[in-house]
Amino acid sequence: MEENTSTVLCIEQLSLEKIFNSPHQMRKQFDPMALRDLARSMKQEGLIQPITVRKVGNAYELVVGERRLRAAHILGWPTIDARVIDISDEDAAVKGLIENLQRADLTPIEEARGYKQLVESPYNLTQEAIAQRVGRSQTVIARTLALLELPPEIQEIMPRGIVSETHTRSLRKISDRNKQILLARQADREGWTVKETERRVNEVLKQTGETLKRREVKSKPESQDPLAKIWEPILQTADETGVKVSAVRYQGSGRWMLHVDAKGISNPRRSLADFFIRLGHTLNGPVPDAPHTSDVTSETLQISKV
């Protein structure tokens, strides 16, 4: 991404006094012991990788490398090697977020606040655009942003790492925020698993009569399975070619799974090839003139119906 969105001006040795922290920094908590370890390493080995900054007026805004900059302050260095780049405000914000995400040092709430900065003015990025920039799905972005809708008391608990984003999906089913907080604190204190949290939430919902608010997933009637009418021809094709077919399951969106077994057959490659050719005829059209022999002897297949 760097090559596409920024121009490297030069690598300079800059005074620490001229470098200010980025307002886009998402990480608010830095482990003091880890910073001291980094400072000792930098004292012994030097700065292996320069920090990255961009020029703003007569000063420089830090883009990437806050831990290295903090360690340099601990060591009392007057200057530090810095790569100076020409980059926009938006790209500076995204770069800072990406660097932290790649190091997996952000807490879920810090990550959510970072995304929130990007969806608000002046950047106004969509969730889809953020997902592309940081290499995550839009669903992950949406779920992370939803953490900011939780009571502040739960947000304060989450950095400890016991109550996760997955825990909060159950907690949000409870409309009473005070009960959400009480359950979250108990989950944090007692180390509940996600499954235990879900069980406790369901108990509260039953007591308060909120069970109807939960989304119920109804299974589709068998008649809605578009493949039901061709299962019989598939099994008949298997009988004709000598292979065994089991676990015929419809997976939705035109996808289905077959487990095809050709063990114990004298010529398994020929039998499998014959089966696939006949199956293709069943699904898509006439049998081709020249069959192709497969090297496969036993397969679990996922086939998309065109």
Name the packing angle between helices 89-103 and 108-119 (round to 10°). 160
Q: Alpha-carbon distance 222 to 213, whole Å?
A: 27
CA distances from 158 to 5, 97, 181, 182, 185 (A): 34, 19, 12, 14, 10
Q: Identity (one letter) of the amino acid at 173?
A: K
User: Tokens standing for 202?
Assistant: 């369901």
Q: Alpha-carbon distance 220 to 249, whole Å?
A: 13
* Given the residues 12, 17, 45, 66, the one annotated as active site: 66
Torsion angle (degrees, nearest 10) of CA 201, 207, 212, 218: 60
User: Tokens standing for 33?
Assistant: 């012991």
Q: Alpha-carbon distance 253 to 233, whole Å?
A: 21
Q: Find all residues with CB under 8 Å of 39, minimum gap 6, and list them.
A: 71, 72, 74, 75
- Judge whether 66 counts as a catalytic residue: yes
User: Tokens standing for 193?
Assistant: 């698993």
Catalytic residues: 66
